[in-house]
């Protein structure tokens, strides 16, 4: 990383509380051309990849953010004994439905899951993984739900197009087919006499 602009961008991203979009960086650095900023971002990403250190610059949730390398996750969690709230199976199912079917109403989520989702939706809203997008223009004007920027950030997604496809998900469930090995002989193989070995009277 050689240019001063790359260093400026690095300091902006480092001090930002959430991923900093390219548009926001351009607003903050209006004395530079957009192409210069884009080039400096590419240069900064390459610098951290080439460095091979403990963290990297990645594009996530529509912006740029420094993140620890996934390979070192287990070591980082030893140090950060942060409060981690695990999602229940019902929360994960509901979140997956919203992520893939958004914008979606509570009634539509409940139709797909077959159970009441009021409590689960409230919990996902409190965790800021889901947000209210507005109201559907049908009788009753039900609320419409969608995933939040925090959802993208937590799951390390650049955007919703980065969600795994159905084929990719199914590929995780497939069991590799190994070649069948020959069974080992536990006893010495019995020699079957050939016709020439038989004694005739």
Query: Whole-structure pTM over 0.95, yes or no?
Result: no
Mean pLDDT computed over 192-200: 51
Per-residue pLDDT of 124-134, as tens digits, reads 998 889 999 98
What CATH architecture does domain 89-154 belong to? Orthogonal Bundle (1.10)
Per-residue pLDDT of 30-59, as tens digits, reads 899 999 999 999 988 888 888 888 888 888
Q: Do 4-79 and 89-154 share a fold?
A: yes
Neighbours of 145 (CB within 10 A): 26
pLDDT at res. 130: 92
Average pLDDT, the chain: 80
pLDDT at res. 201: 47
Helices (H), the chain: 4-15, 22-28, 34-51, 73-79, 89-101, 106-113, 118-126, 149-154, 166-173
Domain 4-79 fold: Arc Repressor Mutant, subunit A (1.10.10)
Confidence class of residue 173 from pLDDT cuts 50, 70 and 90? Answer: low
pLDDT at res. 131: 92
Domain residue ranges in the chain: 4-79, 89-154
- pLDDT surpassing 80 at residue 20: yes
């Amino acid at each position: 990383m050689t240019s001063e602009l790359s260093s400026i961008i690095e300091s902006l991203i480092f001090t930002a509380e959430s991923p900093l979009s390219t548009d926001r960086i351009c607003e903050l650095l209006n004395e530079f051309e957009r192409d210069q900023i884009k080039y400096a971002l590419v240069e900064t990403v390459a610098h951290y990849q080439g460095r091979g250190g403990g963290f990297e610059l990645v594009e996530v949730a529509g912006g740029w953010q420094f993140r620890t390398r996934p390979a070192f996750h287990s070591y980082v969690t030893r140090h950060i004994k942060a409060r981690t709230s695990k999602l229940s199976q019902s929360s994960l199912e509901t979140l997956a439905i919203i992520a893939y079917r958004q914008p979606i109403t509570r009634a539509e989520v409940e139709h797909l899951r077959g159970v009441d989702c009021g409590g689960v939706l409230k919990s996902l809203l409190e965790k800021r993984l889901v947000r209210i997008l507005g109201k559907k223009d049908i009788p009753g004007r039900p609320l419409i739900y969608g995933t939040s920027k925090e959802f993208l950030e937590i799951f390390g997604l650049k955007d919703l197009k980065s969600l795994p496809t159905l084929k990719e998900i199914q590929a995780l469930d497939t069991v590799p087919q190994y070649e069948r090995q020959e069974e080992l002989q536990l006893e010495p193989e019995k020699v079957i006499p050939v016709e020439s070995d038989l004694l005739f009277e």
